[in-house]
Structure 1
């Protein structure tokens, strides 16, 4: 079971043990047994730390251009420095296909961290990008001691240097103080106008809900966050103020550009949360339960599979002869049908500036007037600059001027860009026996990072409403993970009991 899924829960293993062997061990014994199983399958927890330097040399030989930065700390014995050994401290790594892919993705990156759940503690930091058809792509990783200002600075400085040198980049994250300190460092390269920061609105809403109880307060704030125009924002903010002026005072302490969509100048591309970081768990499932070197090697294999799969999908779409994805084309077609209810007036043909009067299909009722600038890709409705493809008002202006709408769609949505994301693939890794020799100090784990040996291991994850189960999701058996029954009525359990009775 551990070989099939290293992230299998202790509860599932405990139920399987009870079903197949007829006794129910303690949680701690099953936890220890799982760690031994992981060590048998993937390698010794301690010895694999010393394989990291050789992996760095091997992966650079496998794929020239790979960036792998290993940091160690000195070992002191009795007040003296032991030069033959060194503690593992931090590791940053990324691969050439990831670096090349990010050049064709949306100009934003979502960063997040997840705890390690093996014998030794630590945190895996990940930077996530997304292409024009919403494919999620991890582009850089780091193993650090925890989430603090120094570790985030280590990760973000190398991310900026090796993967994301583009100007005007947006970073989406939670409100962690370590991230704040790293992004605001004068020499980090993350200050405006080189780069900008935005908060995940779910984290902002969660912090807001801790102070102001009740779902209505949270809902009103979220509605204000998603607004695409100043008029909409003030509408929801006035309702929030009427509920409790203290809510507005609390929200006003956060700079608007960090959490309100209409103030971000279209940099979010509709990404209001760090959900793409959460979704990467499907790609890296189980790696945080592995020994350190197996974890690092797993990222290479998982990304190689991802690039092959997504590359084939992009190639199939390119074979259709279309310039854009089917989803985008459907959005444009839906907007074109709506555009028949608009009346366009030209104000500056040279600069492509118009006003569009929106009416009901019968023309008996006015729904508003909007200013549209095709040259600057803006509309008073806010959708043109937020979505980066023409809104219904912009499409009406294109039809009036006999212009095609394709030039007004951001380059990232073109299938040529999507195809370029996964065009560079991974090469088969060189076997470990052919890795270059390493003659430095022996890398060992820091004993202070080892998880507690006694008592039930406690999760360090802070639970929020993002961790709540979907009520519409079917319940699954805790033993076989199949829907339709519970572990008490599991066919595997019945089969095991029948076998024991027969024996």
Structure 2
């Protein structure tokens, strides 16, 4: 009770936060043009769902971000519990780019469907759009009811934990990741055969129960680039670990402040960059350029070239942006074989990179500012907004202390620390309380 009383003084009353939510959203939309906020209540005014996407983030996504969105949810630890939903992407430098946020009662069909309906007002529904998530049924049901043309893929990290749980005595992870990340169908089949040889039921699970088109990059119907997991969304959830205890208004403001800071810092980093590609992609181009030096290039036709390594050969078509290794096709970034052809014909490698990797797109994504809200005493609120009634949700936290840590998935193992001094687990050398060995006393 004392802790909650202190929180109330610093971050506001949990009940009062819901009442102020419409006014907060009005000022937020006024100060950041193009911002979308939605508050869903039941017939009695009890809070159900909340959605927020900041205007600068929306415009940055539409102009400069690859159309791959990771979605995930994590539980809240405030008085009235709930679940935080997040939709995030990657910018040109492969950094996390938050797009939209939601607060709902729990991860269920209705909440995810509502969230996707609001998200569709930003993303539309095109064949280029890809969503990556875990295998939660509620996410799949919500996605399928809203998006008809976009593609849905599964996070291979979550899938590998399921495999470890189903086949615990097999070292399955390295082969599974190699199979999932394979670019070409030929490479996939080689890895898949080796993977399925470990246990007779692996193929049945991955092909029939899960569906190979959801987790294999080679079989995926859309283009998911390098994004094979939901790590971007998971990282955001981890960043907000402490803020998930806040009242709803304090949590939303914490998120807005974080995004304001990210946009500012990354805008400065992008402005300092003078290369055509972003720093991370420039380094990748450098590595592949060096790799291409040992390749032999032969002309096949006016459009196609054969690139030979010591053991294999590949066919590259620069104008179509294709290579039989499929890296050029699926990453939209020149593979080492394509770079060898570019060097041979005397062209420019940058011409064949997707603009989504360029510094200009990186700058454009963070070109706008996210503004704070003015002091509450200065808010000018219309009567229509002020009169809207939003009451705390009907659900609330149960008795006892709420859980602070996420429950581990089946097959997920938490690595414990090992002391380098006594070789026991659960602590490190600094906190070790065992008696110091004699040979260590004389050092």
**What is the TM-score with the length of structure 2 in the denominator?**
0.88
* Equivalent pair of 1:287/1:298 in contact (CA under 8 Å): yes
- How much is the aligned-residue C-alpha RMSD, in angstroms? 2.6
Partner of 2:230: 274
* Equivalent pair of 1:266/1:385 in contact (CA under 8 Å): no
Report 1:36-185 matches (<5 A). Answer: 36-75=5-44, 86-103=45-62, 104-163=64-123, 167-185=127-145
Partner of 2:391: 444
Q: Distance in 2 between matches of 1:473 and 1:383?
A: 43
Q: Secondary structure at the match of 2:85?
A: strand
Whether 1:242 and 2:194 are equivalent positions in the alignment is no
CA pair 414-213 structure 1, distance change in 2 beyond 3 A: same
* Equivalent pair of 1:197/1:258 in contact (CA under 8 Å): yes
Q: Secondary structure at the match of 1:372?
A: strand
Q: Secondary structure at the match of 2:34?
A: coil
CA pair 96-163 structure 1, distance change in 2 beyond 3 A: farther
Shift of 1:380: 1.8
Q: Distance in 2 between matches of 1:373 and 1:301?
A: 46
* Equivalent pair of 2:151/2:222 in contact (CA under 8 Å): no
Partner of 1:394: 338
Q: Secondary structure at the match of 1:236?
A: helix
Partner of 1:264: 220
* Equivalent pair of 2:34/2:56 in contact (CA under 8 Å): no
CA pair 44-127 structure 1, distance change in 2 beyond 3 A: same
* Equivalent pair of 2:72/2:87 in contact (CA under 8 Å): yes
* Equivalent pair of 1:118/1:289 in contact (CA under 8 Å): yes
* Equivalent pair of 2:32/2:56 in contact (CA under 8 Å): no
CA pair 488-47 structure 1, distance change in 2 beyond 3 A: farther
Q: Distance in 1 between matches of 2:175 and 2:387?
A: 58
* Equivalent pair of 1:227/1:261 in contact (CA under 8 Å): yes
**What is the TM-score with the length of structure 1 in the denominator?**
0.78
* Equivalent pair of 1:139/1:163 in contact (CA under 8 Å): no
* Equivalent pair of 2:28/2:35 in contact (CA under 8 Å): yes
2:211 to 255, 259, 265: 255
Shift of 1:307: 0.6
Q: Secondary structure at the match of 1:425?
A: coil
Q: Secondary structure at the match of 2:9?
A: helix
Q: Secondary structure at the match of 2:264?
A: helix
Q: Distance in 2 between matches of 1:164 and 1:468?
A: 39
Shift of 1:434: 2.9
Shift of 1:431: 2.2
Q: Distance in 1 between matches of 2:109 and 2:126?
A: 23
Report 1:179-194 matches (<5 A). Answer: 179-185=139-145, 188=146, 190-192=147-149
Q: Distance in 1 between matches of 2:161 and 2:223?
A: 23
1:224 to 162, 179, 189: 179
**Could you report, residue by residue, the CA deviation over 1:351-378 in whole angstroms, capped at 9, with x for unpaired residues?**
x21111212xxxxxxx111111212212
Partner of 1:372: 316
Shift of 1:472: 8.7
Q: Secondary structure at the match of 1:133?
A: coil
Q: Give the count of matched residue pairs.
A: 423
Partner of 1:433: 377
Shift of 1:294: 1.3
Q: Distance in 2 between matches of 1:202 and 1:388?
A: 24
Partner of 2:297: 344
Shift of 1:208: 2.3
Shift of 1:342: 1.9
Partner of 1:335: 288
Q: Distance in 2 between matches of 1:277 and 1:398?
A: 36
* Equivalent pair of 2:29/2:36 in contact (CA under 8 Å): yes
**Could you report, residue by residue, the CA deviation over 1:84-137 in whole angstroms, capped at 9, with x for unpaired residues?**
xx2111111111111011121122110011111011110010111111112212
Q: Secondary structure at the match of 1:141?
A: strand
Which has more radius of gyration?
A: 1
1:307 to 251, 263, 269: 263
Q: Secondary structure at the match of 1:389?
A: coil
Q: Distance in 1 between matches of 2:433 and 2:148?
A: 56
Moved more, 162-171 or 393-402: 162-171
Shift of 1:327: 2.8
Alignment gaps of 5+ in structure 1: 1-31, 76-85, 360-366, 475-482, 490-503
Shift of 1:457: 2.9
**Could you report, residue by residue, the CA deviation over 1:236-262 in whole angstroms, capped at 9, with x for unpaired residues?**
221233222211111111332210112
Moved more, 258-267 or 286-295: 258-267
* Equivalent pair of 1:378/1:385 in contact (CA under 8 Å): yes
Shift of 1:314: 0.6
Q: Distance in 2 between matches of 1:36 and 1:485?
A: 36
**Could you report, residue by residue, the CA deviation over 1:371-402 in whole angstroms, capped at 9, with x for unpaired residues?**
11212212122322233211111111112222
Partner of 1:461: 406
